[in-house]
Structure 1
Amino acid sequence: MAKLVLTAENFAFGPIGKLLDVVDLLKEQGHELTFAGFGTSLQLAKNYPFDTIHEIDTDNPESDSKLEGIISKADMLISTMDIPSVKIAQQIGKLTTWIDCLFWFWDSIPDEVLNVDLYVTERLMNDKANEQKYASKIKNLFKVGPIIGRMSGGSRKNQVLISYGGGEAPYWYKEGRDTNYPSVMTNLLLKSIDWSKFDKVIVTTSERIAKELSDKFPDTPFEFKILAHDKFLDELSHSEVILITPGLVTAELAFESGTPTIFLPPSNNSQYLQLDQFIEQDLAPAHTHLSNFMPRLELKGVPLCDSTQMVLKQLKEFEQSPETQKRVGGRLNKLIGNRDNWSNEFVANGKRFIDSLGGNGAYATADKIKHILTANGYH
């Protein structure tokens, strides 16, 4: 049994969700699991049975000594895109696994992660540019199919799941300061759609945002809550239809589960580009892209800080345009009402897409980690 320290970039729910999909399999291998992190990552981690959890802002240099103390006790660090923890692990000579959920997206990849013991990327988005640029520089590159959590089958409930993901990413954008996306979208959905045909409508996001939405929209058919990752998988796979921001983790789950999915407008730059690719590959027959209603943003090749601001600026314009919101709401209402017209296409294309990429990469990732640990004397 090895001692594993796990970290995830505090960027909404994507990195921590991906980490938990792998951690579930590592737990079955019998390893001791310690999580270190904060913010939205910590919120989901608290709902998972880690052996130990440390609340620590890994992005704050003042936390470095404490973080080093945690990592120094580990046999391996496993991180989904939390650079500070990887830097420390490399400095003190610890085995390091880097799970990169957005390999295709980066305009640059830091040198510190190029020499890790295992660099995992998914066969998913068009990553040819970064593969040509970085594949030869990465010491232990390991490509797998989409990393997806385990979901149970069974009959569907007459319910809708609406997911805004984590809703914010501190150090990048904050809900209530840089964006009001969850509030504006909730108001739009309540005004535009008759939800009485469904027994339940669950709106899930981060803990703070869910509380604020619950206070702002009382006496509605919506149940606002944060869901533990396994509970989220269960609700998603058993819902009649889901409405989601086009984040990579939730989209993969939708394709795998065969749950009819409507893509809401993107709430950040990576989602904007991901929805572009989903549409190109016929994976989003039901979508409301910002580019359907507002001038198209050309984000490819734009530095991440700049592209983030471009999307936030357009979202601000969206928030200030009742007419655009009305048009988006009208389209969403039609998509929910005529979902029999597009659901089969979504399910078939999503399944074909996942199968074409080699199936669920979580198992290959967990097996590779086990192999590295064993080779280094940790059983």
Structure 2
Amino acid sequence: MNTSFEHYIFLAEPFGFGPISSSIAIARQLKILDPQKKIIFMGSGTSHQLAVKSNIFDENYFVEDMSESSFIECNSEVNSTNCLIIANTYPKAVLIAKQAEFKCVFIDTLFWMWNQLPIKALDVMKYFIEEFHCTDVKLDRFGFSDIFMLVPPLIDVDVPPHIVKHPFLLVSLGGIDSSLYDFPVFYQKLIEYISKEKKLKQYNILICGGGNKFRENEFKKYENSQLIITCLGPHEYMSKLRVADIVLSSAGLHGFYENYFLKKNVMFLPPQSYSQYLQLKYILNNFSKVIGANFENLEMSHSLRENMPELERINEVKRTNKFLIKDPIWKKFLNIFEDFHTGKIQTDWKSEKNKLQNSRLGPVLVAKEILSLV
């Protein structure tokens, strides 16, 4: 492929694992298609954590306060003529790239959620929109632009299975530990419960997640001969997800797609962010036999709704999360979880109302399009 760009810098919003995991999937395909290109990651938080774990990027730079000088300060070989910035669900990165006079593309994993575009479309060469087939969102709802490109899910599940002892329970908490919400108190209580619950003794258990507490091994005290708590790179995590007998998963978009494509017997955990609440609501509406503990399932009052102002929705999520660990909400969650891990209820993906038509080639399509830009 003929392109003037020699370097590609990925910038992923350090919130959860969604932006960085999809960035890693695309970066992997860039390396396969053109191994000579230098693939770089810059960022902080859970995004930097997973980028390092992935072993995909040629260089990883921890940059907490991104600025227009960050690109050339980190790598002297980079300049505005030989480098393309790839901003994943990270509006601030687009503005920084523009100020630094670097060309940029934007990957939007939350297009379905916005009440207005998070960036100016004219500031980027291409605007990739990840499909979320549980919502009926029109591509042109903010006006038509030929830079928009709708792409299939940005995940890679084609990895070999890992060898584990069965029965195997995989608990995926995602990378929700962020400056916006901090580590959820619900997850803290869940980890402690799983480590002590005698009814789970038959399972070999792996709890995965990201953030400071995982980085600093704060959960080590809960481990035992049948329970491991750690942060895994995407490839290793997927290899274990493939063989899990049951899965307890955060309600992130990519966690949904991973379980959907692998047809896992999964139970989705209560939302820990605004996007997770909406995603889980749409998923449960589209799949009548998928197990999930959304606030409605827990008979929990709240005021979350579509198109909420940012500060209002953040405060409401923080408020609701405080109540998740209190009786009787916690007991209602445990009742659902017990029915799930004992086999009384299970997820059946065949109940889908609107089937996904596109393939799992989203990362390949995006990588090819990026390499074609000049």
- TM bucket by the smaller chain? 0.7 to 0.9
- Whether the 8 Å contact between 1:278 and 1:284 is mirrored in structure 2 is no
- Whether the 8 Å contact between 1:192 and 1:326 is mirrored in structure 2 is no
- Whether the 8 Å contact between 1:167 and 1:209 is mirrored in structure 2 is no
The alpha-carbon deviation at position 322 of structure 1 amounts to 3.2
- Whether the 8 Å contact between 1:165 and 1:206 is mirrored in structure 2 is yes
- Whether the 8 Å contact between 1:87 and 1:112 is mirrored in structure 2 is no
- Whether the 8 Å contact between 1:255 and 1:351 is mirrored in structure 2 is no
Q: Does 1:308 align with 2:309?
A: no
Q: Does 1:103 align with 2:111?
A: yes
Equivalent position of 2:248 in the other structure: 243
* Deviation string, structure 1 residues 288-345 (Cα, Å, up to 9, x no partner): 11222211433212112211211110111222x1332122111111012126x534x2
Aligned partner of 1:334: which letter?
Answer: D
Q: Does 1:231 align with 2:231?
A: no
* Deviation string, structure 1 residues 61-89 (Cα, Å, up to 9, x no partner): 6x442245456364211121223332232
The alpha-carbon deviation at position 351 of structure 1 amounts to 12
- Whether the 8 Å contact between 1:248 and 1:274 is mirrored in structure 2 is yes
SS in 2 for 1:302: coil
SS in 2 for 1:142: strand
Aligned partner of 1:149: which letter?
Answer: D
Distance 2:313 2:107 in 1: 23
Q: Does 1:288 align with 2:296?
A: no
- Whether the 8 Å contact between 1:116 and 1:139 is mirrored in structure 2 is no
Residue pairs, 1:179-190, within 5 angstroms: 179-190=184-195
Equivalent position of 1:328 in the other structure: 333
SS in 2 for 1:46: helix
Distance 2:221 2:121 in 1: 43
Equivalent position of 1:26 in the other structure: 30
Distance 1:5 1:241 in 2: 37
Show structure 1 runs of 5+ residues with no match.
none
Distance 1:250 1:43 in 2: 18
Residue pairs, 1:162-173, within 5 angstroms: 162-170=171-179, 172-173=180-181
Distance 2:253 2:132 in 1: 9
SS in 1 for 2:228: strand
Q: For residues 114 and 312 of structure 1, do their structure 2 counterparts lie closer, same or farther at Cα, with a shift above 3 Å needed?
A: farther
* Deviation string, structure 1 residues 239-292 (Cα, Å, up to 9, x no partner): 111100100111111111122111111111100000000011016621111222
Q: Does 1:44 align with 2:50?
A: yes
Equivalent position of 2:15 in the other structure: 11
TM-score, length basis structure 1: 0.86
Q: Does 1:297 align with 2:303?
A: yes
SS in 1 for 2:150: strand
Equivalent position of 1:209 in the other structure: 213
Distance 1:145 1:351 in 2: 18
Percent identical across equivalent pairs? 20
Equivalent position of 1:94 in the other structure: 102
The one of 70, 79, 97 equivalent to 1:66 is 70
Distance 1:283 1:72 in 2: 51
- Whether the 8 Å contact between 1:14 and 1:249 is mirrored in structure 2 is yes
The alpha-carbon deviation at position 99 of structure 1 amounts to 0.8
- Whether the 8 Å contact between 1:156 and 1:239 is mirrored in structure 2 is no
- Whether the 8 Å contact between 1:72 and 1:92 is mirrored in structure 2 is no
SS in 1 for 2:207: strand
Q: Does 1:145 align with 2:152?
A: yes
The alpha-carbon deviation at position 209 of structure 1 amounts to 2.2
SS in 2 for 1:194: helix
Q: For residues 283 and 149 of structure 1, do their structure 2 counterparts lie closer, same or farther at Cα, with a shift above 3 Å needed?
A: farther
* Deviation string, structure 1 residues 62-119 (Cα, Å, up to 9, x no partner): x442245456364211121223332232234433221111111123324444441111
* Deviation string, structure 1 residues 171-191 (Cα, Å, up to 9, x no partner): x2212xxx4132022234445
Aligned partner of 2:90: which letter?
Answer: D
Q: For residues 166 and 363 of structure 1, do their structure 2 counterparts lie closer, same or farther at Cα, with a shift above 3 Å needed?
A: same
Aligned partner of 1:203: which letter?
Answer: I
Equivalent position of 2:90 in the other structure: 82
SS in 2 for 1:238: coil
Distance 1:42 1:260 in 2: 30
- Whether the 8 Å contact between 2:134 and 2:354 is mirrored in structure 1 is no
Equivalent position of 2:283 in the other structure: 278
* Deviation string, structure 1 residues 17-37 (Cα, Å, up to 9, x no partner): 111111110011212111111
SS in 1 for 2:287: coil
* Deviation string, structure 1 residues 26-65 (Cα, Å, up to 9, x no partner): 01121211111111100011122321111101xx36x442
Show structure 2 runs of 5+ residues with no match.
none
Distance 1:94 1:66 in 2: 12
Distance 2:353 2:85 in 1: 33
Distance 2:119 2:358 in 1: 28
Equivalent position of 1:261 in the other structure: 266
Larger fraction in helix: 1
The alpha-carbon deviation at position 155 of structure 1 amounts to 8.5
Distance 2:223 2:151 in 1: 44
Distance 1:351 1:359 in 2: 19
Distance 1:255 1:283 in 2: 14
The alpha-carbon deviation at position 2 of structure 1 amounts to 2.4
Segment of structure 1 superposing worse, 65-74 or 41-50: 65-74
Q: For residues 110 and 313 of structure 1, do their structure 2 counterparts lie closer, same or farther at Cα, with a shift above 3 Å needed?
A: same
The one of 352, 355, 359 equivalent to 1:353 is 355
RMSD (Å) for aligned C-alpha atoms: 2.6
Distance 2:263 2:353 in 1: 7
Aligned partner of 1:316: which letter?
Answer: K
TM-score, length basis structure 2: 0.87
